[in-house]
Amino acid sequence: MPIYLASRKDGNRDFAFHFRDAEGAPSSDGFRYHSAVDWFAPANTLIEAPVDGIVVESYSTSDVSGPVFGGVLKLKDETGMVWVLRHVIPLVSYGTKVLSGSTVAKVSPWTGGTPHLHLEIWKNQYGGYVHENMIDPKTVTWVEEYKVEEKPDLSFYYEELPASQGGAGPDVVGTYRFAAYAAGAQLLRRARGETVSRLAGDDGKFYVLRWAPGTYGDKYRWGPFTKEDRDSALKRRESVTSRAMRAFKGRNLSNFPWPKAS
């Protein structure tokens, strides 16, 4: 069955098929209904044909204001269903045969709010703009290969700011190519009364870290988290410590050296 739009991956579909809508399709119960889904996307987002079909209407307009902004593209598939794309800039003309997945339109700009594709699915062309002639796009099964894999992203981390920046994390006070030099630097600083530690970074270098009084050995970096976990863990941690934490993605963006992978 049909496939859809590039912007689908943003998860911003608004299923509003049964909403009463003054501009909507008339129903036998005397009300008008939205009879479609609105698919929010930036203006000029490219729209792919949901099905193989033929263009049975291609209407362009420069009107980008009011409730009926943008143009209309209607695609009839081989079963006779009509896919009605409103608030769009059609890129294919009447009578064109299109293949599913080919680019057929762009989302129209709109001065009245967030631009969006308004998608109706008509049971047949001659049933027309009537609520009973429409299928709720939410009930349509979309083709698997166009589903975007929502793999959890485990690469988020957060950390204390270094003590010199008001956090409880250590400051990196030296970077050395050789472990012996780092050890020497550590000894010198310890002799001066500083609390220091050494770390072999996964970049092959050796680091000396200076800790704020009372914080030695405290964890200063957490993760990885999924984005969701990260956001809640970050809030929790910040409320416990009353300090701003720094969130980041990717080990090399850390303030601190990462130890060699164990």
Angle at the Cα of 177 (from 174 to 182), degrees rounded to 5? 45
Specify the residue, 118 or 251, whose C-beta has the smaller distance to Zn ion.
Answer: 118
CB of 118 to Zn ion, least distance (A): 3
Query: Which one, of 7, 39, 26, 28, lies nearest residue 138 by Cα?
Result: 39
CB of 91 to Zn ion, least distance (A): 20
- Cis? peptide before 224, omega within 30° of 0: yes
What would the two tokens of residue 219 be?
A: 């964890």
What would the two tokens of residue 10 be?
A: 């943003």
Specify the residue, 14 or 203, whose C-beta has the smaller distance to Zn ion.
Answer: 14
Contact call for residue 120 and Zn ion (CB under 5 A): no
Specify the residue, 120 or 160, whose C-beta has the smaller distance to Zn ion.
Answer: 120
What would the two tokens of residue 2 be?
A: 């049909």
CB of 27 to Zn ion, least distance (A): 16
CB of 67 to Zn ion, least distance (A): 9
Q: Name 16's Cβ contacts closer than 8 Å, sequence gap at least 6.
A: 34, 36, 37, 38
Specify the residue, 13 or 118, whose C-beta has the smaller distance to Zn ion.
Answer: 118
How many chain residues interact with Zn ion (CB under 5 A)?
A: 2
CB of 34 to Zn ion, least distance (A): 6
Among 13, 38, 70, 92, binds Zn ion (CB under 5 A): 38
Residues 60-119, interacting with Zn ion (CB under 5 A): 118
CB of 38 to Zn ion, least distance (A): 4
The binding track of 178-207 with respect to Zn ion, each residue x by CB under 5 A or -, is ------------------------------
Long-range contacts of 75-82 (CB under 8 A, 24+ apart): 75/49, 75/50, 75/51, 75/104, 76/125, 77/51, 77/52, 77/53, 78/52, 78/53, 80/123, 80/124, 80/125, 81/51, 81/121, 81/122, 81/123, 81/124, 81/135, 82/56, 82/121, 82/122, 82/124, 82/125
CB of 15 to Zn ion, least distance (A): 11
Specify the residue, 37 or 196, whose C-beta has the smaller distance to Zn ion.
Answer: 37
Specify the residue, 106 or 118, whose C-beta has the smaller distance to Zn ion.
Answer: 118
- Order of strands, edge to edge, in the sheet holding 206-211? 171-176, 206-211, 195-200
Stretch that binds Zn ion, among 31-39, 55-63, 71-79, 183-191 (CB under 5 A): 31-39
Q: Residue 4's Cα: distance from chain center in Å?
A: 16
Stretch that binds Zn ion, among 30-38, 74-82, 150-158, 160-168 (CB under 5 A): 30-38
Residue nearest to Zn ion (CB): 118
CB of 10 to Zn ion, least distance (A): 17
Angle at the Cα of 181 (from 176 to 184), degrees rounded to 5? 130
DSSP structural state of residue 217? T
Q: Which residues bind Zn ion (CB under 5 A)?
A: 38, 118
